[in-house]
């Protein structure tokens, strides 16, 4: 490619070859030709003057696309579908008279869009499963490792590193369910004609309504679909595009949540994304380990979330049976959403499979906050020894404020245990108080929750999509 013209970073830096192929010109225009072949075959089988020789000729030249001729014809005709009809007809002279018989441009354009979106969603589904597999392994390994939980990014009750990972996974399972629903619910447009009335086909079939319906069914079967859109104008409803991109936006949201959490954990030096031997974190500061992969996830996710507004606005502003203000927008917004989500999942999988956990730092942070978290247990223990709950609560509040000032204002260690040990109201030795500072006492059911979640929700999904786990994962380009 010439370096003197714009190239999309989604192609040159981020998206996989597999996703790029799905939205490539070759895939698009060979799908147009497959649809023309399916149309001709169904018309022949239903009695129209189409011959097997004509179909054989089209099938023999399916992949021979003269892009120069197609471009020349489009310059002349100002119509991309007619240009490719002429390019196909040039190498299929016998079939030329029946190519596109009775159809309108949306027959190839819209049906192809649905086919490509379905294939794109299938690839996204497989990559979601791969990410889930990596996170499942991580969650299981660290299901019992106590770590600070945060609400409002303030230290809260302890959780575990593995339990936190299940929160990321649960959102991905929601996304996977959405993706599978979208795949199963996508319908081919079929052959509906210029305003969706099938008038041209009714004319071809001399008023036979059943043959018009059967034409739709046969084309759908050949293209791998169980059903077609029941009613339409010239196009399928643009709400379909909006729904698909909403699903992709959901994945972007989940991935951004994960990446944001990891960026914060990287700041805390508790968990980090992989950092390669020769990787440079900063051109000016050699010591830096910037979480650039997670930052890239967040950056691309922001693009997808914003991009999802495009088909929503398009769907809301269509006029009657057809306008063309959707075309230029959807040529960009739909493929780029798929390419960006593909890139997001490639990075997500790379990061999730190589997470670095700094257990000593996590332990240090837990022990710094644990005296505060243990205060309620200490109070209950003192009550059992005959103390007054309300008075003890007030004394702990006072001691906690003093310990907090020592930490925040003086830079000292948390001395709450020492303050309580010196308070005769509690009547407890430092050793007795320290016994309350065992982190595993404060993680609740985290290990059990992780095990149950993996066994009941995640593992069945991984087993159902085992084929996805055998596929080679995309290597990051940058």
Q: 271 near 161, Cβ under 8 Å?
A: yes
In whole angstroms, give the CA distance from residue 475 to residue 14. 10
CA distances for 108 relative to 33, 262, 318, angstroms: 8, 44, 20
Sequence-ordered list of residues with C-beta below 8 angstroms from that of 143, at least 6 positions apart, any chain: 160, 162, 163, 446, 447, 450, 451
3-state secondary structure of 385: coil
The closest alpha carbon to 61, from 19, 21, 81, 32, belongs to: 32
Q: Is 429 a catalytic residue?
A: no
In whole angstroms, give the CA distance from residue 71 to residue 77. 10
> Looking at 12, 184, 185, 282, which residue is catalytic?
282
> Looking at 2, 152, 283, 470, which residue is catalytic?
152
Q: Residue 356 is encoded by which pair of tokens?
A: 């670095």
At CA 72, angle to CA 66 and CA 76, rounded to 5?
A: 140
3-state secondary structure of 319: coil
b/e map of 372-382 (b: 16 or more CB within 10 Å)?
bbbbeebbebb
In whole angstroms, give the CA distance from residue 88 to residue 267. 58
Q: 392 near 425, Cβ under 8 Å?
A: yes
CA distances for 352 relative to 307, 344, 345, 348, angstroms: 26, 12, 10, 6
* Ramachandran angles phi, psi of 126, nearest 5°: -65, -35
The closest alpha carbon to 223, from 116, 321, 139, belongs to: 116
Q: Is 470 a catalytic residue?
A: no
Catalogue the active-site residues.
152, 282
């Amino acid at each position: 490619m010439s370096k003197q013209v714009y190239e999309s970073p989604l192609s040159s830096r981020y998206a996989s070859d597999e996703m790029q192929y799905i939205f490539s010109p070759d895939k698009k225009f060979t799908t147009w030709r497959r649809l023309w072949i399916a149309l001709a075959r169904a018309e022949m089988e239903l009695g129209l003057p189409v011959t097997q020789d004509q179909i054989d000729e089209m099938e023999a030249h399916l992949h021979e696309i003269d892009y120069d001729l197609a471009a020349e014809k489009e310059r002349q005709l100002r119509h991309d579908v007619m240009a490719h009809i002429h390019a196909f007809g040039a190498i299929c002279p016998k079939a030329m008279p029946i190519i596109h018989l009775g159809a309108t441009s949306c027959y190839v354009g819209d049906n192809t869009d649905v086919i490509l979106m379905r294939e794109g969603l299938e690839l996204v589904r497989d990559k979601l499963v791969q990410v889930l597999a990596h996170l499942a392994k991580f969650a299981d390994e660290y299901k019992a490792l106590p770590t600070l939980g945060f609400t409002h990014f303030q230290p809260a009750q302890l959780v575990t590193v593995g339990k936190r990972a299940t929160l990321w996974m649960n959102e991905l399972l929601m996304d996977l369910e959405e993706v599978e629903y979208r795949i199963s619910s996508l319908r081919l447009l079929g052959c509906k004609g210029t305003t969706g009335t099938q008038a041209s086909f009714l004319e071809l079939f001399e008023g036979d309504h059943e043959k018009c319906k059967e034409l739709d069914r046969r084309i759908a079967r050949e293209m791998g679909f169980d059903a077609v859109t029941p009613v339409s104008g010239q196009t399928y409803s643009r709400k379909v595009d909006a729904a698909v991109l909403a699903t992709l936006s959901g994945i972007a949201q989940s991935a951004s949540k994960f990446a944001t959490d990891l960026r914060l954990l990287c700041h805390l030096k508790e968990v980090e994304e992989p950092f390669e031997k020769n990787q440079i974190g900063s051109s000016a500061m050699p010591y830096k380990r910037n979480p650039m992969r997670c930052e890239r996830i967040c950056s691309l996710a922001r693009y997808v979330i914003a991009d999802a507004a495009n088909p929503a606005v398009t769907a809301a502003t269509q006029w009657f049976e057809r306008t063309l203000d959707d075309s230029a927008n959807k040529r960009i917004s739909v493929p780029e959403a798929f390419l960006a989500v593909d890139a997001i999942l490639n990075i997500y999988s790379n990061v999730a499979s190589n997470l670095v956990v700094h257990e000593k730092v996590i332990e240090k942070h837990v022990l710094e906050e644990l005296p505060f978290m243990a205060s309620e247990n200490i109070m209950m223990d003192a009550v059992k020894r005959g103390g007054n709950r309300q008075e003890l609560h007030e004394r702990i509040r006072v001691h906690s404020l003093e310990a907090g000032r020592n930490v925040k204002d003086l830079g000292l260690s948390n001395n709450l245990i020492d303050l309580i040990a010196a308070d005769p109201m509690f009547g407890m030795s430092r050793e007795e108080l320290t016994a309350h500072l065992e982190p595993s006492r404060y993680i609740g059911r985290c290990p059990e929750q992780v095990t149950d979640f993996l066994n009941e929700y995640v593992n069945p999904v991984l087993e159902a999509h085992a084929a996805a786990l055998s596929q080679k994962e995309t290597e990051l380009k940058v």
